Structure 1
């Protein structure tokens, strides 16, 4: 299953699916970019404008940080983690041998995209459609995840590597203060990107037959 060669009506479909297949998690990143900052910005702006959201609520909020501004994210993260070490919540040996080098590798990249959800903006629609009120927060996260995936895939299609991180709520306050962001913006993920310094490892797949079924074919 999944290996049959097919011919698509629109050649762009095959191109899109090849980009999907090429997207990988890349940790070894340089502080360089093969494309312009304007091209990166266009990718992120396109995701903000065109990724769908439930009831067109448009709850995703995104911040693009490049070069020195990007490094500040990981300075904030490192400082927050060092605070946990000082408080005895994280073993120092593990921090020095594993966590700190990992954060420093993120800092060495070219940029970070911060993805937020503005849950407060959902208040009117929750009131209007009370029967779905408990669903809108998960719907907002789903839309945000689509933005993350689109930006990730497009950046890799342009020769960048990227990896997705989640350091909330540890860094939330520091991030909001550093860039004076609205308190209603709740940080969900951080997409780190840069020119790949090494190829990712081989990708392993669980059997498709265990994860996908088709009926009526």
Structure 2
């Protein structure tokens, strides 16, 4: 059996120490990511995922507005300083990918297929998972580090205002990416007997 695909997915790790020292241009990254997004499976091929690319001052703006928003909810200045340092490590990267779900498409399919209506929101989340994994693995294959963050829904309103996001797009995740300034450590796995059942 070929292990080529498994090698690719093993290479995808969470990278927090990001930099701007990558060889690809923004246009090259956009082209790669667009293909990864387009080939993610979705229920009824309804393609509910949406992606926004942030580079340069737009990337910086996201993490600055996230810091401003979190400053209003983190209980004290010492705790906020730790939070801000984490956010600035994302800002140190080359760019950010924002993932959204088009809720209008979800609602349209709920109306068209009432028998399955209660499933379409879950299926949209499954499309998000496939989309994000495809992109993350694609970036890792280009030696670009990334992590997946979830500051939504705290920053939803600010993001929509800052980047002119349609009302029906719901923010699901933020993916800062850039050069790998410090690799991920070893990864632990739970016992296979606790995770898998095989009947044959």
TM-score calculated relative to the size of structure 2: 0.95
Report the Cα offset of residue 37 of structure 1.
Answer: 2.0
Q: Does 1:171 align with 2:155?
A: yes
- d(CA) in 1 for partners of 2:184, 2:109: 43
- d(CA) in 2 for partners of 1:31, 1:83: 29
Report the Cα offset of residue 84 of structure 1.
Answer: 2.3
Aligned residue for 2:176, secondary structure, equals: strand
Q: Does 1:70 align with 2:59?
A: yes
Deviations 1:154-174 (A, max 9, x none): 101101111100001111111
- d(CA) in 2 for partners of 1:36, 1:213: 45
| Residues 156-195 of structure 1 mapped to structure 2, 5 A cutoff | 156-195=140-179
Report the Cα offset of residue 103 of structure 1.
Answer: 0.6
Unaligned ranges ≥5, structure 1: 1-6, 9-13
The answer as to whether partners of 1:172 and 1:187 remain within 8 angstroms in 2 is: yes
| Residues 30-179 of structure 1 mapped to structure 2, 5 A cutoff | 30-85=19-74, 90-96=75-81, 98-179=82-163
Larger-gyration structure (1/2)? 1
The answer as to whether partners of 2:37 and 2:134 remain within 8 angstroms in 1 is: no
Deviations 1:65-98 (A, max 9, x none): 122211111011011012224xxxx2222111x1
The answer as to whether partners of 1:31 and 1:194 remain within 8 angstroms in 2 is: yes
> Considering only aligned residues, what root-mean-square deviation do their CA atoms show, in Å?
1.3
Aligned equivalent of 1:4: none
The answer as to whether partners of 1:34 and 1:158 remain within 8 angstroms in 2 is: no
